């Protein structure tokens, strides 16, 4: 079945380029062989492209992490903040992230609604 599909697409290609008149069998086979080589090269290039994309994604992720750390350190140094990386643990009431003279979150907002 794949052979008939390949031959059908070859015939369509021949018609598209006005080569349908009087093709020799050798020319058809050389064209088919050339297509097969191009197809295998295309598959190899697709695999290489996917690998390069994966590597680029890893590099960008590393760069973003280091840039985030540098930015956080710069803010810490410039404004005297004690910033931490956001994680699943800890939260708004984490006293480690507050400046030393800041009131605790429970007493910081006098407008907090009481239930």
Residue 42 within any structural domain of the chain: yes
71-82 pLDDT tens trace: 887 877 777 766
Please give the model's pTM, rounded to 2 decimal places.
0.41
80 Rama class: left (phi>0) / alpha (psi -120 to 50) / beta: left
DSSP for 4-67, written as a single string: HHHHHHHHHHHHHTT--SS--HHHHHHHHHHHHHHHHHHHHHHHHHHHHHHHHHHHHHHHHHHH
- 35 domain-assigned: yes
Number of separate domains in the chain: 1
100 in any annotated domain? no
pLDDT tens digits, one per residue of 33-49: 788 888 889 999 999 99
d(CA 48, CA 87): 35
- Whether residue 110 is contained in a domain is answered as no
User: How many whole angstroms separate alpha carbon 74 and alpha carbon 58?
Assistant: 24
């Amino acid at each position: 079945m794949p052979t008939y599909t390949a031959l059908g697409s070859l015939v369509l290609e021949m018609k598209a380029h006005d080569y349908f008149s009087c093709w020799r069998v050798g020319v058809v086979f050389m064209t088919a062989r050339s297509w097969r080589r191009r197809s295998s090269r295309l598959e190899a290039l697709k695999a290489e492209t996917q690998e390069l994309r994966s590597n680029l994604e890893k590099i960008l992720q590393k760069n973003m992490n280091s840039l985030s750390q540098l930015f956080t350190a710069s803010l810490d140094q410039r404004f005297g903040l004690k910033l931490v990386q956001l994680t699943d643990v800890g939260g708004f009431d984490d006293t480690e992230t507050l400046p030393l003279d800041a009131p605790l979150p429970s007493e910081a907002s006098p407008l907090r609604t009481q239930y």
